[in-house]
Chains A and B, each alone.
Chain A
Amino acid sequence: MSDRRTVLVRYDEIGLKGKNRGQFIDRLLNNIKDQMRDVEGLEFKVPHGRIFIYCCEESAGECLRRLQKIPGVASASIGVTREPDFDAMAAVGREWIEPLLQDGKTLKFCVRTNRADKSYPYKSPEIDREVGSRILRELHPKGLEVNIKESDFVLEIEIGQEETVVFNNRVPGLRGLPVGSSGEVLGLISGGIDSPVALYRMLKRGCRAHGIFFDNRPFMGRGGYDKVIKLSKLLNGFQRKSRLYVVPFEDIQVAIRDNCRPAHRVVLYRRMMYRIAQRVAQQNRCLALVTGESVGQVASQTLENLSAVSQVVSMSVFRPLIGMNKQEIINEAKELGTYEFSIEPHPDCCSVFMPPRPATRAKIPDLERDETRFGWSSLMQEAIEKMECIELDALTV
C-alpha cells in the first residue's frame, strides 16, 4: 500500500459557478479522464471542492505532468491518503523529510493544514503544532528546525470529510475553464506567431477551438501546411477532439489580385477568409470566430480595416490579443511552445499577392465595389467544397 498515491486536483473558477457547478466539474473530470486514457490503474473520486486521482507512485508523476496542460485545473499535488491521526500524518512527514537532511546543515520546515471537515475536533493551527512537534522531536538532532515564514519544506495536510491527504508540493495548472464548457469556436490560423496564441487563450476559457487554415498551394509549397498541422496538433494536446479545416485559397487570391485595386488586396483577402470561416463555423456548430489580430500590428489591422473586415460577418469575432504588444504575444507563444514552430521560414503568402502600398483605411463602399469585379460567391462555394477536414486526434505522426 505504501506506493499508493493520491493526486489532488484543485480548480478555482468552477468553484464560483452557482447551479451549473456540477456540470463544470463533470466536464473537467471527463477531460482529465480523457487525457489520462492510456495511464493504467487510475481511480477517480470527486469529494467536495477537489478531484482525487488514486494511482501508483510511478503514474503519479505522469498524471501531474498532464494535469498542468488541462484547462480548468488550478493546481495539483501528489500526496498520500492517511487516517486523520497525528502520528500517521507525522510519519509521512518524517519519511519525506529525513532523506533531505544533510550533516551540518539545517533544514527549515513547517506544517500547514486546511481543515475542510469542520467536525474534526482540532483546529488547523493545533494540527500544525501537533504534527510538526512529532516530526521535530525525531529529526531535530539531525538538523531540522521550524520556520513558518521561510521554509525549505512545507508539509501540507488537507482534512476533508471523506479523507485526509498529506502532500508537499503544488504545481500550478492553466486555470480557466474546462474545454467544452463554453462551446466551440473556429479560429483563423496562419502559421504565424499570433493566431496559435489567440486560439490557446480561447481554449483556456473553456472553448473547444478548431482551426481554419487558408492554404496557398501551389503558389507556396507544402511547408506552410505542415507547419499549421504541427501547431494545431500542439493546441489539440490541450483540448483533444479538435479539427483543422484546410481551405484552398489560391483561386480567390488570384481573382482578387487580377481584378481589384492593389491597395485593397489584403483587406479583400481577409473579408473572404472571414466569410468562409463564418460559413464553416455555422456548418459545424461553432458559435464564434477567433483571430490573432492586434490593433495596428500590420496594415490590415488598423481600426478601419478591422471593422471593414468584421462587417462581412454577423457572427461574433473574438480577438483575444487585440490589446497586446508583439513582444507580449511572442513571450506567450514561447511559453506555450508554438513559437519555435511559428518561426520556421515557410512564407504564408506569395509576394505576388502583396500590394506595394496596402490601404490602411479602406472604405467599405470601395471594397464592395471591388467585390463586384470577381465572382466571389461561387469561388467561395468552390473553396468550401474542396476543403479538407483533419481530425487532429486521428493524426499519429
Chain B
Amino acid sequence: MIYLDNAATTPMDPEVLDVVQESMRKDFANSGTVYSLGLDAKQRIEEAENQIRESLSIPQNFKIIFTSGGSESNNLFIKGYGFPDKRVASSGLDHPSVSQTLEAFRESGNEPVSLLSYQKEGRLDLSALPHLKARKVRLLCLSHVNNELGSVNDPATLLPALAEQSPQTRLFLDGVQAVGKLKPQPRMWQGLAGYSISGHKINGPKGIGLLIVDEKLELKPQIHGGQQQHKLRAGTLPVPLIVGLAHAVKKAVEITDETLKNNQRLFRHLVAGLKNLADQNPDMDIQYNSSLSEDVSRQSPSILNFRFAPVEGEVILHHLEENEIYVGMGSACSAHSKEPSKILTGVGLTPEEARCSLRISFGPQNTIAEVDAFLAAFDDAYRQLFSTFNRKTASR
C-alpha cells in the first residue's frame, strides 16, 4: 500500500501506538478524582501538557485545552471568543470547521468579512490589512497551511504587519496542517490569539486535538457540564489519547527538519515526474493548483494539488485505489459531496478544473520510490481514461 493522503489523516506512529496502549491499560482512572489513582492520571495529563508546551515552545501565558480534534478546537475558539458580536474575517479558503462556524455569525446578523478577493496563490495578501482596519475586524481566522493547497499564511510576516496596520485585529490560526511540516516559530505565540492542532494529522491518535489560546482572552465554553480545563471544555479527559498526542507532537517536532527536507525532495520529484509524463504524452496537460514556490513561507512541500483536464480526479483516484495507492480529492471531509471544492473554485478554478484535480500529501514515511510508483500508476490510468474523457473523440 502506498498512502499519499496524509493531509486527510495519517497512520499511527508505532511508538505512539505503544504509548497509547500502555496508558489505556494503566491510566484508566478519572483525573478528576481525589484518590491517588486519579491523582496519578492527573499527573500524566500535566506531564503531557508540559511536554507539548516544551515541544512547541508555548509560553506560560497561553492556555492549553484538550479537545476532540481540529474541528472542535476551531469551533471552540471562534464561537467561544467571537460569537455573537465580534466582527470576524476569514480568507474564504478555509476548512469547513472554520467557514461553517462563521455561518453562525451570519445567521445572527453579524456578517463575516470575506477576504477572498485578497488571496494570492491561496495566501492572504498583505494588501487586505487596511481593509481589516476599515471594517473594524476584531478576529481574523486563517489556515497556517491550507488543507487542500498547502499554501502558507506565515505568521512571521502577518503578525508584525497586523500590529502595524490593523492593531485591533487578533489572529487565529488553524495549525492542523502545519505542525510537523514547517519549522516551529516560537516567536509567533506572542502575537497570536489562538492556534489549533489535531493529533491524527501528525501520526497520533484520532479523537484528540488542542486549542492553544492567549489566557487574556475570555472564551465561552461550548461543552458544559464540568469544571475541567479552566471550565472551558467539560468532560472527563482521555488520558491515553492525551499522552499519545504529547508523544506525537514531540516526535513530529523533533523530526520536522528531516520531514521538511524529505517533503521537499518528494515534492520536487513529483513535480519533475509529472512534467516528464506530460512531456512524453501530448494528450496530458498538467496544471498546478498549488504554488511551486520552494519558499516554505509561501508553500508547504507537504501538499501538491494539481489538475489534468479532461480526466476527472475522482476517477483517477479510484483507478489508483485498484493498485492500493491512496491519494486525496480536494478536502477529505467533502469528497462525497458532488459540489466542487470551494477552496479550488476560490482560487479561480472552474468547477470542471476543480473536478479534474488531485491532492498528494506527504508524511514522514513516504519515499521517492512511492512517488515513482504513483507516477507510473497515474500515467497508466490517465492513458487508459483519456479517450473516454476527451470530448473530441467521443462526440460523434
Contact between B395 and A218, CB atoms less than 8 A apart: no
B321 and A221 contacting across the interface, CB-CB below 8 Å: yes
Which residue of B317, B319, B388, B395 is within 8 Å of A352 (Cβ)?
B388
Q: Which of B315, B319, B321 has the most CB of A within 10 A?
A: B315
CA distance A259 to B321 in the complex (A): 27
Task: Name B242-278 residues within 8 Å CB distance of A.
Answer: none
Q: Which of A218, A254, A259, A346 contacts B319 (CB 8 A)?
A: A218
Once the chains are docked, how many angstroms separate the CA of A356 from the CA of B252? 49
- A220, A223, A254, A345: which contacts B388 (Cβ < 8 A)? A254
Is B312 part of the contact surface with A, judged by Cβ < 8 Å? yes
Query: What size tier do the contact residues of chain B reach?
Result: 10 to 19
Q: Is B25 an interface residue (CB 8 A)?
A: no
Interface residues of A in 140-171 (CB under 8 A from B): none
In whole angstroms, how far apart are the Cα atoms of A356 and B317 in the complex?
A: 24
Interface residues of A in 325-354 (CB under 8 A from B): 345-347, 350-352
Instruction: Give the residues from 199 to 242 in chain A that come closer than 8 angstroms, CB to CB, to chain B.
Output: 217-221, 223
Answer whether A347 and B319 are a contact pair too, CB < 8 Å, given A261-B396, A262-B394. Answer: no
Number of A interface residues in the complex (CB < 8 A): 19
Task: Name the residue on A nearest B393 (C-beta).
Answer: A258
Contacts of A254 in B (CB 8 A): 388
A5 within 8 A of B: no
Q: Does A319 lie at the interface of the complex (its beta carbon under 8 Å from any beta carbon of B)?
A: no
**Cβ distance B59 to chain A, nearest Cβ, rounded Å:** 44
Q: Within the complex, what minimum Cβ distance (angstroms) separates A30 from chain B? A: 42
Is there contact, CB below 8 Å, between B315 and A219?
yes
Beta-carbon contacts under 8 Å, B321-346 to A? 321-322, 336-338
CB pair B394–A219 under 8 Å, yes or no, is no
Known: A218-B318, A257-B388. A345 touches B338 (CB 8 A): yes
Within 8 Å CB of B337, what residues of A? 345
Interface of B is mostly: helix
- Known contacts being A345-B336, A350-B312, is A220 close to B318, with CB within 8 Å? yes
Does B288 interact with chain A (Cβ within 8 Å)?
A: no
> Does B287 make an interface contact (CB < 8 A)?
no
Q: Which residues in chain B, 343-396, are within 8 Å of chain A measured between CB atoms?
A: 355, 387-389, 393-396
The answer, among A218, A258, A260, for a CB contact under 8 Å with B322, is A218
Closest to B387 in A: A258
In the complex, A304→B312 CA distance in Å? 32
Q: Flag if A258 contacts B315 (CB, 8 Å).
A: no
* Assembly CA distance A259 to B387 (angstroms): 11
Give bound CA distance, A63 to B275, whole Å: 67
A254 to B390, CA, bound (A): 12
Tell me the smallest distance from the CB of A256 to a CB of chain B, in Å.
Answer: 10
- Check if A257 sits within 8 Å of B394, measured CB to CB: yes
| Min CB–CB distance A225 → chain B (angstroms) | 11
Min Cβ gap A345→B in Å is 5
Q: How far is the CA of A220 from the CA of B321 in the complex (A)?
A: 11
Distance A350 CA – B355 CA, assembled complex (angstroms): 12
Nearest chain B residue, comparing its CB with the CB of A254: B388
A217–B318 CB distance below 8 A: yes
Q: How far is the CA of A259 from the CA of B388 in the complex (A)?
A: 10
A258 touches B336 (CB 8 A): no
Contacts of B388 in A (CB 8 A): 254, 257-258, 352
Evaluate whether A218 and B321 lie within 8 angstroms (CB atoms) in the complex, with A223-B336, A258-B388, A350-B312 already known. yes
Residues of B within 8 A of A345 (CB): 336-338
B336, A346: Cβ atoms closer than 8 Å: yes
0/1 string, A267-304, CB within 8 A of B gives 1: 00000000000000000000000000000000000000
Q: Give the docked Cα–Cα distance between A252 and B337 (Å).
A: 26
* A218: chain B residues within 8 A (beta carbon): 315, 318-319, 321-322
B336 contacts A350, CB within 8 Å? Answer: no
B314 cross-chain contacts in A, Cβ below 8 A: 220-221, 350
| Bound-state Cα–Cα, A347 to B312, Å | 14
- Cα separation A351 to B339 with both chains bound (whole Å): 12
- 16 of the cross-chain contacts (CB-CB < 8 Å) are A218-B318, A218-B319, A218-B322, A219-B315, A219-B318, A220-B318, A221-B318, A257-B388, A257-B394, A258-B394, A260-B396, A261-B396, A262-B395, A350-B315, A351-B355, A352-B389
State the A residues within 8 Å of B (CB).
217-221, 223, 254, 257-262, 345-347, 350-352
Not counting A221-B321, A352-B388, A352-B389, a sample of 9 additional A-B residue pairs whose C-beta atoms are within 8 angstroms of each other reads A221-B314, A223-B336, A254-B388, A257-B394, A258-B388, A262-B395, A347-B338, A351-B312, A352-B312
User: Interface of B with A (CB < 8 Å)?
Assistant: 312, 314-315, 317-319, 321-322, 336-338, 355, 387-389, 393-396
Instruction: Enumerate the 9 nearest inter-chain pairs by beta-carbon distance, A residue then B residue, closest first.
Output: A218-B318, A345-B336, A219-B315, A218-B319, A218-B322, A221-B318, A254-B388, A257-B388, A352-B389
